[in-house]
Amino acid sequence: MTASSAGTAPAAEVEPGIAQALLEAGVGLIDAYPKPLTDEVIQAADIVVTMGRGDACPALSGRRYLDWPVSDPDGAPIAAVQDIRDAIDAHITALLDSLPSD
């Protein structure tokens, strides 16, 4: 299984508070950088997860779309960013548990 991320309006770099919260969770950020959401990214996906920006996401047929309503962590205090990180982790765990195993 492969996961990738992209944004409808990506920043120039990963925000320091977000990087800190991800590093605390053991997520390596060596090659991480914000990437734009393109039709090609959507075409390569089986499942597209939006986080409150579903209206800005290209909609292509044959894709499963999920919207996880989470707060925007950009500029938020570290405690709020950690809560958002944990909420996204819970959504990911539930999604993975719902997928058929091969």
Write the pLDDT tens digit of every residue in 16-67.
999 999 999 998 888 888 888 888 888 888 888 988 766 667 677 778 888 8
Cα gap 38→58, rounded to integer Å: 8
Q: Which domains does the chain have, with CATH numbers?
A: 16-98 (3.40.50.2300)
What is the reported pTM? Answer: 0.83
Angle in degrees, 0-180, between the axes of helices 78-98 and 16-24, rounded to the nearest 10: 50
Nearest to 51 by CA among 41, 64, 65, 38: 65
